[in-house]
Structure 1
Amino acid sequence: MSAEAPQAYDDLLEAYRRVSNVESAVGVLSWDQQVTMPDGGAPARSRQLSTLSGLKHELLTDDGIADALETLDRSELNDEQRAVVREIRREHERAAAVPQALIEQISAKSSEALEVWESAKADADFSQFAPVLEELVELRREYAAAIDPDRDPYAVLFEDYEPYLGLETAEQVLERLRDELVPLIEAVGDSDVTQPDPFADGTYSEQAQEDLSREILTRIGYDWDRGRLDTSSHPFTSGNQFDCRVTTRFLEDDPLSALTATVHEFGHAFYNLGLPQEEYGTPLGSSRNLSVHESQSRLWENHVGRSRPFWESVADDVREAFEGVEDIDGETFYRAANRVYDDNLIRVDADELTYHMHIVVRFEIERDLINGDLDVEDVPEVWNDKYEQYLGLRPENDAEGALQDIHWSHGNFGYFPTYTLGSVMAAQLYAAAEDDLGDLDGSIRAGEFEDLQTWLRENVHHHGARYTTDDLVEVATGESYTADYFLEYVTEKYGDLYEL
């Protein structure tokens, strides 16, 4: 290594840690806006977030970072240092291409849009949200054009969330799942097997649901010294390896919704809390990207939280928490948690099979919005038509339809495919963990999650963003990224449940 490389590398890390600290502050303010901020606080919060977004952009595009990167081009670096330089360079170059004024404008408009979306959803009135959504679409088009005016703008936006697998891979995975899951869903629908619904006739207090959610979080290993559970209109996770918070929501007639959402968000938080603490503020202490993040949440939600041994493990807790289910056994809870709904319009409450059709709808709509092939005012009708086409359902109102998700109010176009990419990755990772650890079902049935936690820490979390997505999958599983494991998993699981 040359004599100047260590100093240039240290300078780069020092500058980038300031960027990361501002980003963390934005996360706390955004969490507060959705969880505890009074309704009247929106105008000030919009300005605060806009200023911090501008400051982050200013720090990321600073000449000091540019100079350090240029110096390190001529330096010998080890593998970890090269990975850090690769990640910071990518962020720096994308940020440098976008005017700071546009970054601040997007942040301010997104903060404003959140309040508008919440009101529009409450009123089930898309027309309230349409004007601000149209502005966000246009702003994101400008953002994509600033980065690369000659490329598909949606592909550019997608790379904010998944920079390495590529939009082509996402399209291939979504098309394969659409082609192979639809016949499976139809076969389930034609089956004579009906799964139980032990919660159908009851109502369940928010407090009882929250108490159970806290018990389950404790059981599966949430670190309360570095986290907290709150409620929000849309469940989410926010934080880092020192402070990572989850939210959920409670439906009085469907306690399974809160449980699955809570376990899903635990997966995100467990990933963040497992990142190396000594690397905080650097790419080695950052999550890889949203596809990997979603692999962690979907692994815990589905491969653990919807598994037969998990429900056998927590059956006593569920029986104690809710009246009316005192005589229900773990097998019945398991089957109830894995019912394939033929009438579920809501993505976050969807079963594992139909869930991906929800993603396909959103992907196709937001891609057409960004590419100029769909007008904002036409979104509700197109949304409803696609739900009818892919799921055989038609939303009765906008709250059940195009207003159900928070993502577009944040301007997060390109995010949705990562849910499916992550689900596919989760199955591959879980299969590798089973191969390495042996009887995972037995451990989960006994309420012991340490072996799985340690495997994920060692094979995914502690790498931070050292590897690209496909390289991380290969390092963790010994194979390239593939949808084979996911399709094998759901075919076997639902074939058993519905006697196919």
Structure 2
Amino acid sequence: MGVTDEDQAAEPGAYERLLDRSRKLANVRQASMVLAWDQRVTMPDGGTPARAEQLSTLSSVEHDLLVDDAVGEWLETLRGADLPDERAAVVRELRREHQRAAGVPAELVERLARHRTESQQVWQEAKEADDFERFAPALAELIDLHCERARAIDPAENPYRVLFEDAEPYLPLETVERIFDDLREHLVPLIEEIRERGRDLPSPFRGREYDEERQRTLSEAALDALGFEWDRGRLDTASHPFVAGNQFDARVTTRFDPEDPLDALLATIHEFGHATYQLGLPDEEYGTPLGASRSSGVHESQSRFWENHVGRSRAFWEFFLPTVREHLPGLEDVTVDEAYAAVNRVDPDNPIRVEADELTYHLHVLLRCEIDRAFVEGHLPVEEIPEEWNRKMESYLGVSPESDAEGCLQDTHWSSGFARFQNYTVGSVLAAQLDAAMREDLAVDDLVREGEFAPIRDWLTEHVHRHGQRYTTEELIEVATGEPLTADYFLSYVDGKFRDLYDL
């Protein structure tokens, strides 16, 4: 389609107005992010009623900015215009957001934001009390609101697919399901073989208690070593570790277990991966799609890369074990081989996802995806979730949680949304693919062993971070690694690593 003189005259004005609207939207979202971070980190418990109203109002402001008729007019003006690739990407992303929001009533947006905020507090209280029934009514209302929104976006589509596309818009659900099939076929027998024939790995960090303040300073030391930008970030604690932020302000949270210092250390390294993605986005594109992360799955690839391919590597423990000894007394005799084995120990009896090893982790995710989908599609009543959860835990992992707090209440994610758990596995698969591509350019193990992490950060920024949302997910994976998303690298990586560790 050709571009007329009228198009050429109109395009700069329409594009600049659209870009200005994008920046306003981003600022409202970032304000909401800070309030949501505050609720989970520093806000007193009694602040929830006011915080729910604040976030509800901001969500309404965001919605009005996005569905404004003027936005539709600017997008229509730009339809068919011959734009440079980066501008075309900005228009593509804003068009998608506008179209998905246009059919959703503002009143529903406000109700959903208010109830999400209230549900976060209810979940936290229910987990502390080990009482799923306390959370169940809030969860039932959440699913109703999310499904109502999904039907408003596309009444002809399965609500689960609509919700999945919130966090992963350009990776087909069928692709993800094929990857899950590959992993299920490969990991289940490998885990069983380890359980039956694998050697017993050492556990040198167990059997003692570790002071929280010492663990905190160890997490800070890990962030220092990895190259965390403290002038643009901070470290706090939360009941469920997460990162919130942008390229100027990336906030890491972790949590401390007095009996397991590896839990906090690996969680901190994991969240560093999320933070370094945010900090690697181009400063000059803040407020535009070019300055925003691509998707939940790509984001998770960064955290899983740093946690697993760096933090669980032998090279990292050759470098970092002396620092661990400095901060945690009583570990003077722990060797690199023992530490490396301990941090990679497969533990099918562990009921907690965020504490899971690299192999069983994906069975935790699979369990959540199956329950999540059955709940969204109306096949699983809310009151049956604990029983179904425990049944699947026994089936997939051979372990039954001792409480709801260890079972269906352990994750906060349902307070935020549904159809998102797949992206933890997508991230792990993509992390292995990125690791393989990186090793063609860098001597990764040598760099880690020497504590030289800047070239690794720079490689990820060059191949992933700096692009923002210029590419769709599938395009970005090909740009970064040279081929489409595949489970092959992940399966090869875990097969080699764990067969060696367990002498199989």
- TM-score, normalising length: structure 1: 0.99
Alignment RMSD, CA only? 0.8
Query: Given the alignment of the two structures, is residue 213 of structure 1 paired with residue 229 of structure 2, yes or no?
Result: no
Matched residues in 2 for 1:416 and 1:428: separation?
20
Query: Given the alignment of the two structures, is residue 469 of structure 1 paired with residue 473 of structure 2, yes or no?
Result: yes
Matched residues in 2 for 1:316 and 1:339: separation?
21
Q: Write the mapping of 1:253-292 to structure 2, written as runs, cut at 5 A.
A: 253-292=259-298
Instruction: Indicate the residue corresponding to 1:182 in structure 2.
Output: 188
Instruction: Indicate the residue corresponding to 1:488 in structure 2.
Output: 492
Instruction: Indicate the residue corresponding to 2:361 in structure 1.
Output: 355
Task: Give 3-state SS (helix, strand or coil) of 1:159's partner.
Answer: helix
Matched residues in 1 for 2:348 and 2:10: separation?
63
Query: Given the alignment of the two structures, is residue 421 of structure 1 paired with residue 426 of structure 2, yes or no?
Result: yes
Q: Return the match for 1:323 from 304, 323, 329.
A: 329
Query: Given the alignment of the two structures, is residue 332 of structure 1 paired with residue 338 of structure 2, yes or no?
Result: yes
The letter of the residue matching 2:189 is P
Instruction: Indicate the residue corresponding to 2:409 in structure 1.
Output: 403
Shift of 1:486: 0.4
Task: Give 3-state SS (helix, strand or coil) of 2:170's partner.
Answer: coil
C-alpha distance after superposition, 1:203-227 (max 9, x if no partner): 0011000000000001001100000
Task: Give 3-state SS (helix, strand or coil) of 2:440's partner.
Answer: helix
Matched residues in 2 for 1:420 and 1:8: separation?
40
Instruction: Indicate the residue corresponding to 1:111 in structure 2.
Output: 117
Q: Return the match for 1:52 from 50, 58, 64.
A: 58
Matched residues in 2 for 1:376 and 1:170: separation?
26
The letter of the residue matching 1:455 is W
The letter of the residue matching 1:413 is F
Matched residues in 2 for 1:111 and 1:54: separation?
14
Q: Return the match for 1:451 from 438, 451, 455.
A: 455
Query: Given the alignment of the two structures, is residue 305 of structure 1 paired with residue 311 of structure 2, yes or no?
Result: yes
Task: Give 3-state SS (helix, strand or coil) of 1:256's partner.
Answer: helix
Matched residues in 1 for 2:329 and 2:23: separation?
50
C-alpha distance after superposition, 1:317-341 (max 9, x if no partner): 1111112211112221111000000
CA contact (8 A) 1:363 1:417 kept: yes
Instruction: Indicate the residue corresponding to 1:69 in structure 2.
Output: 75
C-alpha distance after superposition, 1:45-84 (max 9, x if no partner): 0000000011101101112211110100042101111111
CA contact (8 A) 1:53 1:107 kept: yes
The letter of the residue matching 1:424 is V
Query: Given the alignment of the two structures, is residue 233 of structure 1 paired with residue 257 of structure 2, yes or no?
Result: no
Instruction: Indicate the residue corresponding to 1:151 in structure 2.
Output: 157
Task: Give 3-state SS (helix, strand or coil) of 1:9's partner.
Answer: helix
Query: Given the alignment of the two structures, is residue 17 of structure 1 paired with residue 26 of structure 2, yes or no?
Result: no
Q: Write the mapping of 1:346-385 to structure 2, written as runs, cut at 5 A.
A: 346-385=352-391
Shift of 1:3: 2.2
User: Hey, which bits of structure 1, 4+ residues long, moved more than 3 A?
Assistant: none
Shift of 1:342: 2.6
Q: Return the match for 1:4 from 10, 21, 27.
A: 10
Task: Give 3-state SS (helix, strand or coil) of 1:164's partner.
Answer: coil
Matched residues in 2 for 1:304 and 1:478: separation?
22
Task: Give 3-state SS (helix, strand or coil) of 1:247's partner.
Answer: strand
Gaps of 5+ in 2: none
CA contact (8 A) 1:319 1:327 kept: no
CA contact (8 A) 1:239 1:245 kept: yes
Shift of 1:201: 1.1
Matched residues in 2 for 1:436 and 1:323: separation?
39
Matched residues in 2 for 1:464 and 1:454: separation?
15
Matched residues in 2 for 1:482 and 1:304: separation?
21
Shift of 1:195: 1.0
Instruction: Indicate the residue corresponding to 1:440 in structure 2.
Output: 444
CA contact (8 A) 1:291 1:418 kept: yes
C-alpha distance after superposition, 1:204-257 (max 9, x if no partner): 011000000000001001100000000000000000000010100000000000
Query: Given the alignment of the two structures, is residue 296 of structure 1 paired with residue 302 of structure 2, yes or no?
Result: yes
Task: Give 3-state SS (helix, strand or coil) of 1:3's partner.
Answer: helix
Q: Percent identity?
A: 57
C-alpha distance after superposition, 1:346-380 (max 9, x if no partner): 00000000000000011000101110111000000
C-alpha distance after superposition, 1:293-325 (max 9, x if no partner): 000000000000100000110010111111221
Matched residues in 2 for 1:119 and 1:234: separation?
13
Task: Give 3-state SS (helix, strand or coil) of 1:435's partner.
Answer: coil
Shift of 1:192: 4.1
The letter of the residue matching 2:419 is G
Matched residues in 2 for 1:485 and 1:201: separation?
36
- TM-score, normalising length: structure 2: 0.98
The letter of the residue matching 2:427 is G
The letter of the residue matching 2:35 is L
Task: Give 3-state SS (helix, strand or coil) of 2:236's partner.
Answer: strand
Matched residues in 2 for 1:74 and 1:395: separation?
56
The letter of the residue matching 2:251 is R
